């Protein structure tokens, strides 16, 4: 009996280190899981197409955005598929602090000056499934002519957009974004729109499908809830590819809006398909 007991004991003792050996990695695993780790970013560029993505440049990074939107493709050879009527936007974005990006831009559409603020609220991590970013922009239309609008107030030149950008990277290849948006238009030209809608609410949907490490397909659609059914304007959409080459991202896309400023394309997408591109360069 005694022998059996000793034997059993020895067996137990001898097997213990074996068990412990496997446990060491498992034990470590359990300890590691509790560390906070952020998931990689959902989008490569600050924009999906026209819509802002949840990406914010890192502290000290200066980004130059050059965007072109050509004229309607349907004009055919007369305008060389819109190449004669290009709208250009040049934008500089800089992050003074981590997670806060400021930008200024000038677009030839309505000779618009714009500034924008983008700030990180939550980052997708092993503790929280979404990235949430706030975005706010002010546009100044400098094309409005007082000869055409004798009662024009300085404030009429302003339009605003405020957006909450909510994204999730579902897998290595697939990311989605929702963008509840509020747009304020100080000026409503009743020659163009049937009824004044100064405050407009919209919801943007965007997504990315990575085809390879450096290429992805992007698409977005923005539904404007406040647009009357007899409005001459449409819901904006864009689809295209992102091609990343180290310090540059090239975004080649088709869209139905001439402007890439949020208050303009959310409210006034013309509806005709145009070709365009964004070139992003980081310094």
Partner 1 sequence: MKKILFLLLLIYGTSCFSQKYFTRTGATDFKASVDFFEPIEAKNKSTTVLLKTSTGEIVAQLFMTAFQFKIGLMQEHFNENYMESYTYPKATFKGKLVDFNLSTIDKKSNYTLKGILTIRGISKEITTTASLKKDKKQLTFKANFSVTPKDFEIEIPAIVRKKIAKKVDISLDYVLEKKV
Among 74, 111, 127, 214, contact with partner 1 (rule: CB under 8 A): 214
Six token digits for residue 99: 């997670």
- Residue placing its CB nearer to partner 1 in the complex, 24 or 190: 24
**Contact flag: residue 97 with partner 1 (CB under 8 A):** no
Among 48, 49, 52, 57, contact with partner 1 (rule: CB under 8 A): 57
**Contact flag: residue 121 with partner 1 (CB under 8 A):** no
DSSP 47: B
Encoded one letter per residue, x for contact with partner 1 by CB under 8 A and - for no contact, window 60-79 reads -x------------------
- As a whole number of angstroms, the distance between CA 186 and CA 154 comes to 10
Among 1, 2, 190, 229, contact with partner 1 (rule: CB under 8 A): 2
Nearest to 156 by CA among 190, 187, 117, 197: 187
**Contact flag: residue 32 with partner 1 (CB under 8 A):** yes
What's the closest the beta carbon of residue 133 comes to partner 1, in angstroms? 16
Among 7, 27, 88, 273, contact with partner 1 (rule: CB under 8 A): 27
Encoded one letter per residue, x for contact with partner 1 by CB under 8 A and - for no contact, window 254-283 reads ----------------------------x-
**Contact flag: residue 150 with partner 1 (CB under 8 A):** no
Q: Where are the beta strands (DSSP E) in 112-214?
A: 112-122, 131-141, 158-169, 174-185, 199-212
- As a whole number of angstroms, the distance between CA 73 and CA 149 comes to 32
- As a whole number of angstroms, the distance between CA 282 and CA 197 comes to 38
**Contact flag: residue 189 with partner 1 (CB under 8 A):** no
Cβ-Cβ contacts under 8 Å for 142 (sequence gap 6 or more): 110, 111, 112, 113, 157
- Scanning 10-18, 103-111, 137-145, 146-154 for contacts with partner 1 by CB under 8 A, the matching segment is 10-18
Encoded one letter per residue, x for contact with partner 1 by CB under 8 A and - for no contact, window 162-181 reads -------x-xx---------
Nearest to 231 by CA among 203, 188, 194: 194
N-terminal to C-terminal alpha carbon distance within the chain: 80
What's the closest the beta carbon of residue 107 comes to partner 1, in angstroms? 25
Instruction: Please give the size of the binding site for partner 1, defined by CB under 8 A.
Output: 35
- Residue placing its CB nearer to partner 1 in the complex, 45 or 202: 45
DSSP for 92-116 reads: EEEEEETTEEEEEEEETGGGEEEEE
**Angular region, 25: left φ>0, alpha ψ -120 to 50, beta rest:** alpha
List residues near partner 1 by CB under 8 A.
Answer: 2, 6, 9, 13, 16-17, 20-21, 24-25, 27-29, 31-32, 35, 37-41, 44, 57-59, 61, 169, 171-172, 213-214, 244, 246-247, 282
């Amino acid at each position: 009996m005694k022998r059996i007991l000793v034997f059993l004991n020895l067996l137990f003792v001898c097997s213990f280190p074996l068990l412990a050996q496997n446990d060491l990695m498992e034990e470590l695993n359990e300890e590691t899981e509790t560390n906070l780790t952020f998931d990689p970013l959902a989008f490569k560029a600050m924009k999906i197409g026209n819509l802002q993505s949840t990406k914010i440049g890192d502290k000290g990074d200066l980004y130059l955005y050059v965007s072109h939107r050509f004229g309607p493709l349907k004009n055919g050879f007369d305008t060389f598929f819109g190449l004669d009527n290009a709208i250009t936007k040049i934008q500089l974005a800089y992050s003074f602090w981590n997670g806060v990006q400021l930008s200024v831009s000038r677009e030839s559409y309505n000779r618009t000056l714009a500034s924008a603020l983008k700030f990180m609220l939550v980052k997708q991590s092993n503790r929280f499934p979404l990235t949430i970013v706030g975005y706010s922009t002010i546009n100044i239309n400098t094309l409005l002519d007082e000869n055409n609008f004798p009662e024009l107030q300085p404030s009429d030149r302003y339009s605003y957009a405020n957006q909450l950008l909510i994204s999730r990277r579902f897998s290595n290849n697939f990311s989605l974004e929702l963008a509840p948006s509020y747009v304020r238009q100080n000026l409503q030209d009743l020659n163009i729109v049937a009824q004044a809608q100064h405050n407009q609410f919209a919801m943007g949907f965007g997504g990315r499908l990575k085809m390879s490490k450096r290429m992805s397909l992007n698409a977005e659609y923005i539904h404007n809830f406040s647009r009357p059914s007899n409005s001459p304007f449409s819901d904006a959409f864009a689809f295209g590819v992102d091609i990343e080459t180290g310090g540059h991202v090239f975004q080649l896309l088709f869209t139905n809006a001439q402007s890439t400023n949020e208050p303009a394309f959310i409210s006034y997408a013309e509806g005709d398909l145009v070709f365009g591109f964004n070139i992003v360069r980081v310094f």
